[in-house]
Amino acid sequence: MSCVPTGKFTPELAKDLQERLEQTWSPEQIAEKRRCASLSFVCFKTIYRWLYDGKLTVSETEVLRHKGKRRKPMETRGRFLVGTAIHQRPKEVRKRTTFGH
């Protein structure tokens, strides 16, 4: 048994959400309707997150009535690139026999 939560995202739920979004329902309307119908509850913020993450196949610019703020790509500066592992380096580097490595 895994200790990681499985999450609520299922293919059936995704199909239902995509159908409602294509009918121009807002994520708030979808979340409230599912709660009132005693279906598996999904918060409207989760629906927005799934839209922005690409888990739903519909485009957020096509289905959302209010476009909101433009989403910027994540910042990539300040992160180290994956380099050569220590055990894969030449032996002369490990022994420090030559200058300039």
Angle between helices 11-22 and 27-36 (to 10 degrees): 120
**46, 13 in Cβ contact below 8 A?**
no
pLDDT per residue as tens digits for the range 53-87: 888 877 766 677 766 677 777 777 877 777 777 77
Give the ranges where 37-84 is alpha helix by DSSP (H): 44-53, 60-63
Whole-prediction pTM:
0.59
The SS3 of residue 95 is helix
Q: What percent of the chain has pLDDT over 70?
A: 84
| Residue 86 neighbours by CB under 8 Å, 6+ apart | 94
In single-letter form, the type of residue at position 23 comes to Q
